[in-house]
Amino acid sequence: MSDFYSVLADHYDALFGCDDRTITFLIEEGALPGARVLDAACGTGACTRALIGRHVDAHGADLSTRMIEIAKEKARDAGIEPSRFSVGDMLETDAHPHRPFDLIFCIGNSIAHLDSLDAVGRFLRAAARALEGGAGRLVLQYVDVATLEVGDSFELPDLTAPAAVMRRTYHRDGSRIRFDAELAVRGESAQAISQPLLIIPTAELCGLVEEAGFASVTVYGGFDRTPAGGGRWVRVVVGELS
């Protein structure tokens, strides 16, 4: 993992966090007390910890060793069993030791870090296998920039924390999106990264969700359940197995 992501991990919760609207949405979709839930690509675990605080049997997995190290540290500080967090590939969700789950969620545009729509399909099928007895729900949040023209770019709002600022730009570079980011930490030199991201058209994603076995698929323009579109790039997709 690059130095950029190692530094980002130390400020991840403060920059991205997990607001009440997100938690309310997850609760409404099945993250109820006693439900077993997986936060796939959990980062440093803010949403997982928030759900545990509401008596949800929540677990978090992330491919980043540094993110999980911090998630475990924060869990200990909060009186949460650190073993609820583990290093894991979202493509192997069906191998998670605490499966089956009632709800799996993957938010923060994490699925766009997969390298192909085929890989997205593999994740969706693994998630379907990991859900409880052929039931349960999957929640995905991502940014749909499929209509952005080649060569065009747009800036996302800066993310700010007490000791750091993250500036972000999406640029259409051929068949992919280039995610350019700069992380400025107080008292340190700014660090930059250019990360290719997968373009995930919502219609294609919904088709893949259905192919993975989800009988019902609903698309929103955010965790506030506004309709998708209308100039909004964020998408929240909910798939229900039965």
pTM of this structure: 0.94
Task: Please tell me whether residues 98 and 181 are part of one structural domain.
Answer: no
Task: Please tell me whether residues 160 and 41 are part of one structural domain.
Answer: no
Quick: pLDDT tens for 115-133: 999 999 999 999 999 998 8
Are the beta carbons of 60 and 87 closer than 8 angstroms?
A: no
Highest-scoring range by mean pLDDT, 8-22, 87-101, 135-149:
87-101
Quick: pLDDT tens for 15-36: 988 999 999 999 999 999 999 9
In this prediction, residue 5 has a pLDDT band, given cuts at 50, 70 and 90, of confident
Task: Please tell me whether residues 140 and 162 are part of one structural domain.
Answer: no
Task: Please tell me whether residues 132 and 169 are part of one structural domain.
Answer: no
Task: Please tell me whether residues 34 and 78 are part of one structural domain.
Answer: yes
Average pLDDT over residues 184-191: 90
Task: Please tell me whether residues 119 and 169 are part of one structural domain.
Answer: no
Task: Please tell me whether residues 116 and 85 are part of one structural domain.
Answer: yes
Question: Hey, which residues does 194 pair with through a beta bridge?
Answer: 180
In this prediction, residue 102 has a pLDDT band, given cuts at 50, 70 and 90, of very high
Quick: pLDDT tens for 71-86: 999 999 999 999 999 9
- At 4 the pLDDT is 66
Task: Please tell me whether residues 46 and 72 are part of one structural domain.
Answer: yes
Task: Please tell me whether residues 64 and 78 are part of one structural domain.
Answer: yes
CATH number at residue 205: 3.40.50.150
Question: Regarding predicted confidence, which is higher, 179 or 58?
Answer: 58
- At 1 the pLDDT is 44
Task: Please tell me whether residues 59 and 175 are part of one structural domain.
Answer: no
- How many domains are there within the chain? 2
Task: Please tell me whether residues 126 and 45 are part of one structural domain.
Answer: yes
Alpha helices in the chain (DSSP H): 3-16, 20-28, 46-52, 65-77, 117-130, 202-211
Looking at every residue in the chain, the average pLDDT score rounds to: 93
Task: Please tell me whether residues 162 and 54 are part of one structural domain.
Answer: no
Q: Decide if pLDDT at 51 tops 70.
A: yes
Q: Decide if pLDDT at 48 tops 60.
A: yes
Q: How big is the chain by its Cα radius of gyration, in Å?
A: 17
Question: Which residue range is the domain that position 30 belongs to?
Answer: 3-144+198-240
Do you know the residue count of the chain? 242
Which of 30, 12, 8, 28 is CA-nearest to residue 20?
A: 28
Sheet holding 164-173, edge to edge: 153-161, 164-173, 176-185, 191-197
Question: Regarding predicted confidence, which is higher, 57 or 149?
Answer: 57
- At 2 the pLDDT is 53
Give the pair of three-digit tokens for residue 70: 């911090």
